[in-house]
Amino acid sequence: MRTEKEKMIGGEMYEASDLELSIARKHAQQELRAFHQAQDPEQGKAILKNLFGTTGNKYHINSGLIVDYGFNIHIGENFYANFNCTLLDSCPIKIGENCMLAPNVQLYTATHPLDPVKRNTSIEYGKPITFGDNVWVGGGAIIIPGVTLGDNVIVGAGSVVTKSFPDNVVLGGNPAKIIKVLNL
Q: Please write the tens of the pLDDT for every residue from 36-51.
A: 999 998 999 999 999 9
Instruction: Kindly provide the b/e burial profile for residues 6-40, where b requires at least 16 CB atoms within 10 angstroms of the residue's own CB.
Output: ebbbebebbebebeebeebbeebeebbeebeebee
**Which residues, other chains included, contact 12 with Cβ-Cβ below 8 Å and sequence gap of 6+?**
2, 125
pLDDT tens for 107-127 read: 999 999 999 999 899 899 999
* Size of the chain, expressed as the number of residues it contains: 184
Counting beta carbons within 10 angstroms of the beta carbon of residue 2, is it exposed (0 to 12), middle (13 to 18) or buried (19 or more)? exposed
Instruction: Kindly provide the b/e burial profile for residues 109-133, where b requires at least 16 CB atoms within 10 angstroms of the residue's own CB.
Output: bbbbeeeeeeeeeeebbbbbbbbbb
Whether pTM > 0.85 for this model: the answer is yes
Give the C-alpha separation, 174 to 104, whole Å.
16
Catalytic residue among 27, 36, 60, 112: 112
Residue 60 one-letter amino acid: H
- Please say if the pLDDT value at position 184 is more than 90: no
Percentage of the residues of the chain whose pLDDT score is greater than 70: 100
What is the count of structural domains for the chain?
1
When pLDDT is averaged across residues 74-98 and rounded to a whole number, the result is 98
Average pLDDT of the chain is: 97
Report the C-alpha dihedral over residues 28, 156, 148, 181, rounded to 10 degrees.
-160
27 is catalytic: no
Q: What is the CATH number of the domain that holds 141?
A: 2.160.10.10
Dihedral sign from CA coordinates of 163, 66, 57, 60: positive
**Residue range of the domain that includes 71:** 4-181
